[in-house]
Amino acid sequence: MKPDLKLALALLRIGTALMMLRHGIPKVERLFADKIEFADPLGLGPATSLILALIGEVIAPLLILIGFKTRLAAIPALITMLVAAFIVHGEDPFAKKEMALLYALSFLVILIGGPGKYAIDKN
């Protein structure tokens, strides 16, 4: 029996996007705070850093979830996780980087493999 790789990609896409939203959605409130307080790992300012994090942790995962512009949406999500792993947690032990690296690996597979079945961008 031939494995259904397109179904596997769809499961990876949907599962990863849903789990990432759990990290991103709580950050939306911060955008509307009187004074934005957020880490500034790239030196772009807290507001810009928060907006970039929201693109990588909310907007991109929503697009990935529905399978629309999936490969393109995987790029900011991947970059966000690489920044989290190597810059935000750069000096931390591997255990602190591990989750961001697992997400980065998942988004890399989604970028390479595409959306799979049950997506707007069916491949």
Q: Which domain holds residue 72?
A: 5-113
Over the chain, what is the mean pLDDT? 92
State the total domains in the chain.
1
Domain annotation covers residue 87: yes
Domain annotation covers residue 118: no
pLDDT confidence tier of residue 123, bands split at 50, 70 and 90 = low
**Helices (H), ranges, the chain:** 5-31, 46-54, 60-66, 70-83, 94-113
Domain annotation covers residue 89: yes
**Mean pLDDT across 98-112:** 97
**Mean pLDDT across 90-116:** 95
Domain annotation covers residue 13: yes
Domain annotation covers residue 83: yes
pTM as predicted: 0.90
Give yes or no for a contact between 49 and 86, defined as CB atoms under 8 angstroms apart.
no
Q: The tokens of 34 are what? A: 């009187």
Domain annotation covers residue 17: yes
Q: Closest Cα partner for 82 from 59, 107, 58, 60? A: 107
Domain annotation covers residue 120: no
Would you say residue 1 has pLDDT above 50? no
